Amino acid sequence: MYASRISRLTGSVAREILSHANNKDMLSFAGGLPANEAFKGLKLPDDEGSSFQYGASEGERSLRELFAERFQAKGIDCGFEQVLITSGAQQGVDLVSKLFIEPGVTVGIEKPTYLAAIQSFALFGAEFEPFGLEADGPNLEEFEQVLQKGDVRFIYLCPSFQNPSGICYSLEKRKAVAALLDEYEVTLIEDDPYGELNYTDACTVPICSFLKKAKWIHFNTVSKILAPGLRLGCLGCSPEFFPHLLKLKQAADLHSNRFSQAVVHQWLSDEDLMAKRTQQLRSLYHEKQQVMAQSLETHFKDLAEWNTPAGGLFFWLRLKEPVQIRELLGCCLKQGVAFMPGGPFFPTEDEGAQFMRLNFSNPPVERIDGGLKVLAEEIGKMVTLVV
């Protein structure tokens, strides 16, 4: 006999595709993986043995201080006592689900939104109130309607180069969203894994830095700027949330991996090194993004619509004609090319049937065009069949 929530537990399509993508011949546009070439130069620090011992659930104090400084530099009013080191931002999503959600609780989400947030919120029994996204952030009318319903426990947002849409909220929309959250006193859960992968001068100021009344939790991670295998992230939060999140963290895994904390401390404490690394990542990914943009123009012009994102790791495509997207995925995997179907980014999969997400950071730059050609050909075949 399992807990009733297990009937709400959906598998992650992304992780299923990832298992195919681990096959080294597979060209994957599916995951949100950093470039393998970006891991060169990452080294384990010398450790005098302390990392072998159990550590504090809240994380190493020196690392919490470094993250607090980074938050403050972005305008977030956050002392180290409000910082909890987590096993990736994903653990933040899990802890927030446990803190706030029980069956029937409503949460406000962007449409589309991060699939593993939907997976976690749904597991704990959340009902979803989605609001639409425009090129510069939420449709404010729809956003306010969600808040007006009065029973929304929190709003979950990824305002900078959102996963999957790549949308980055404008400064005006960030301020407007904060003002509405303050007016209705609804808690903000802000997820920011991509803010530093900015290829233009897009605004990435955290929305929680504008809040005056509403409470907040802000996730950060080193997965996209250092290495996801470290499983290391953190959250900063309104002081009243911290004791609860700390106990949930204790119950979940005692504390995050101390070797990873030591590696991350070594990198983050060297500002010049981090600045150089971030700059290198930006130029590497921007170059790959431009190659993908060019190939999309060549192969997808008649098949789909998209915007070139100002940062992050993804193109988000809307196919002009409906196709059986899971069938399409099966055909493409057989040809050695993976992509991410849009369905899992919506509370009901059907809504995403015409969308696909393409990652440009992980595929080798010289294979992007060939891979997209295969994808376009497979889509073309299906569209022809439907017509």
Residues near ligand PLP (CB under 6 A) are 32, 88-90, 114, 158, 163, 191, 193, 221, 223, 228, 233
CB of 151 to ligand PLP, least distance (A): 25
Give the long-range contacts of residues 366-370, CB within 8 A, separation 24 or more: 367/27, 368/288, 368/291, 368/292, 368/295, 369/291, 369/294, 369/295, 369/298, 369/299, 370/27
Q: Kindly write down the DSSP assignment for every residue of 214-271, as one continuous string.
A: S-EEEEEESTTTT-GGG--EEEEE-GGGHHHHHHHHHHHHSS--HHHHHHHHHHHT-H
Nearer CB in complex with ligand PLP: 115/379: 115
Cβ closest to ligand PLP, residue 118 vs residue 214: 118
In whole angstroms, the minimum distance from the beta carbon of 194 to ligand PLP comes to: 7
* 91 or 295: CB nearest ligand PLP: 91
Residue 193 CB, shortest distance to ligand PLP, in Å, is 5
Q: Which is nearer to ligand PLP, 158 or 358 (CB)?
A: 158
Minimum distance from residue 246 beta carbon to ligand PLP (Å): 19
Rg (CA), the chain: 21
Q: d(Cα 152, Cα 262) in Å, to the nearest integer? A: 38
Residue whose CB is nearest to ligand PLP in the complex, by number: 88
| 3-state secondary structure (DSSP) of residue 295 | helix
Instruction: Give SS3 for 8.
Output: helix
Q: Which one, 223 or 289, has the nearer CB to ligand PLP?
A: 223
Instruction: Give least dist CB 162 to ligand PLP, A.
Output: 7
Residue 152 CB contacts under 8 Å (≥ 6 apart), including other chains: 106, 107, 108, 129, 146, 186
Q: What share of the chain is helix, strand, coil (3-state, %, to 5)?
A: 45, 15, 35
Q: Nearest distance from residue 114's CB to ligand PLP, in Å? A: 4
CB nearer to ligand PLP: give 133 or 158.
158
Task: Provide the minimum distance between the beta carbon of 316 and ligand PLP in the complex, in angstroms, as a whole number.
Answer: 13
**Closer of 128 and 300 to ligand PLP (Cβ):** 128
